């Protein structure tokens, strides 16, 4: 859904990668993200959920300025985002927290130096940077550890360090890409609570990406459901969890939340098709228990189900 006072807007964004396939290594285009539009408001936490390989991380990297879209535009407060954000007006306004904090931290640098790094591009002096890093490390629950190295910490503590680093420039938007999926269940809750606390304190908007609908439903007020590079449903969390309209969302609910919700559908059958050979018509039709002839021929349009709630299915009862 697009909104006029959005902080971050993705407008009809697509991303294609050139790949070689087949015995003769013929060049083809793999469409990882296909004509996706959404907006993120100030201080909002927007969830993006879907199976592995559906294109959600690619979309997250584009939203953060790390990848250029093949088509479409990404705007931050109305200005188009340049690719090399670190050297532009957008420097520090968008940050990312990755799935694996160990590979995102330099093993040769102390954690204070790593956390302080985003301030170096702003010309802040070394001593001041390190002091600010120590303060931020205390805020994320790691007091007095700045002179230690990443290998001396557990996975959950390393993710706290990654959150501290992302917050150093007081960004407008943080893209959290599967931030808890590499962690034990007990530690996951601590990191999710930390992200909530930090949002209360510093007010960044989050684009929160996960394959786990439970986690997304805990964190986010609004949820987008992605499949094979397309958004299929987008709506407020409470409506979506109670009355999911798209069969794919219903199947995800069934897998994540089971019988605790009324909207849960039958579990998913089969595998997600290759993005090199996306199905014609509705991309979900090979796995959809409700598919009919029209689904194999025609791509469903968006149908509006309510305020900020839309779905792409021929058989949803929308008003448009």
Helix-helix angle 111-120:155-167, to 10 degrees: 20
**Least separation, in Å, of the C-beta of 299 and ligand SF4?**
9
Contact positions with ligand SF4 (CB under 6 A) in 253-282:
282
Nearer to ligand SF4, 138 or 316 (CB): 316
Residue 55 as a binder of ligand SF4 (CB under 6 A): the answer is no
Here's the x/- map for ligand SF4, 112-141, by CB under 6 A: it reads as ------------------------------
Distance CA 254, CA 251 (A): 5
Nearer to ligand SF4, 107 or 289 (CB): 289
**Least separation, in Å, of the C-beta of 268 and ligand SF4?**
12
Of the candidate residues 196, 279, 290, 318, the single one contacting ligand SF4 (CB under 6 A): 290
Residue 251 as a binder of ligand SF4 (CB under 6 A): the answer is no
Of the candidate residues 288, 303, 309, 310, the single one contacting ligand SF4 (CB under 6 A): 288
Distance CA 33, CA 47 (A): 16
Residue 228 as a binder of ligand SF4 (CB under 6 A): the answer is no
Contact 312, 267 (CB under 8 A): no
Residue 192 as a binder of ligand SF4 (CB under 6 A): the answer is no
**Least separation, in Å, of the C-beta of 298 and ligand SF4?**
8
Of the candidate residues 38, 153, 227, 284, the single one contacting ligand SF4 (CB under 6 A): 284
Strand positions, DSSP E, the chain: 8-21, 26-40, 45-49, 71-76, 79-80, 94-97, 173-177, 205-210, 222-227, 230-236, 303-306, 309-311
Residue 247 as a binder of ligand SF4 (CB under 6 A): the answer is yes
Residue 226 as a binder of ligand SF4 (CB under 6 A): the answer is no
- How many residues bind ligand SF4 (CB under 6 A)? The answer is 13
Q: Which helix (H) or strand (E) holds 117?
A: helix 111-120
Residue 198 as a binder of ligand SF4 (CB under 6 A): the answer is no
Structure-block tokens of residue 105? 């931290």
**Least separation, in Å, of the C-beta of 116 and ligand SF4?**
48
Strand 8-21 vs strand 94-97: parallel, antiparallel, or unpaired? unpaired
Distance CA 236, CA 269 (A): 26
Of the candidate residues 14, 243, 314, 318, the single one contacting ligand SF4 (CB under 6 A): 314
Strands laid side by side in the 26-40 sheet? 26-40, 8-21, 71-76, 79-80
Distance CA 320, CA 292 (A): 21
**Least separation, in Å, of the C-beta of 303 and ligand SF4?**
10
Distance CA 117, CA 267 (A): 45
List interacting residues with ligand SF4 (CB under 6 A).
Answer: 246-247, 282, 284-285, 288, 290-291, 295, 300, 313-315
């Amino acid at each position: 859904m697009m909104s006029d006072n959005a902080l971050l807007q993705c407008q009809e964004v697509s991303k294609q990668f050139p790949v070689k396939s087949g015995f003769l290594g013929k060049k083809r285009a793999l469409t990882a993200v296909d004509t996706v539009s959404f907006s993120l408001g100030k201080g909002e936490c927007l969830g993006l959920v879907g199976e592995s390989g559906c294109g959600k991380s690619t979309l997250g990297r584009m939203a953060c300025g790390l990848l250029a879209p093949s088509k479409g535009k990404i705007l931050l407060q109305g200005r188009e985002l340049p690719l090399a954000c670190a050297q532009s007006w957008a420097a520090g306004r968008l940050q990312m927290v990755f799935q694996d904090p160990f590979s995102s931290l330099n093993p040769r640098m102390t954690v204070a130096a790593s956390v302080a790094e985003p301030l170096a591009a702003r010309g802040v002096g070394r001593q001041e940077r390190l002091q600010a890093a120590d303060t931020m490390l205390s805020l994320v629950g790691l007091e007095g550890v700045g002179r230690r190295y990443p290998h001396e910490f557990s996975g959950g503590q390393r993710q706290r360090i990654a959150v501290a680093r992302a917050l150093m420039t007081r960004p407008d938007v943080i893209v959290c890409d599967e931030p808890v999926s590499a962690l034990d269940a007990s530690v996951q809750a601590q990191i999710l609570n930390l992200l909530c606390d930090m949002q209360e304190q510093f007010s960044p908007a989050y684009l929160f990406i996960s394959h786990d609908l439970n986690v997304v439903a805990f964190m986010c007020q609004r949820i987008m459901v992605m499949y094979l590079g397309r958004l299929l449903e987008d709506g407020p969390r409470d409506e979506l969890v109670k009355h999911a309209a798209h069969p794919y969302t219903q199947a995800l609910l069934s897998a994540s939340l089971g019988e605790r919700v009324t909207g849960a559908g039958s579990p998913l059958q089969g595998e997600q098709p290759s993005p090199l050979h996306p199905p014609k018509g509705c991309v979900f039709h090979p796995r959809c228990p409700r598919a009919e002839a029209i689904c194999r021929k025609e791509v469903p349009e968006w149908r509006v189900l309510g305020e900020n709630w839309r779905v792409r299915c021929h058989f949803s009862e929308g008003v448009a």
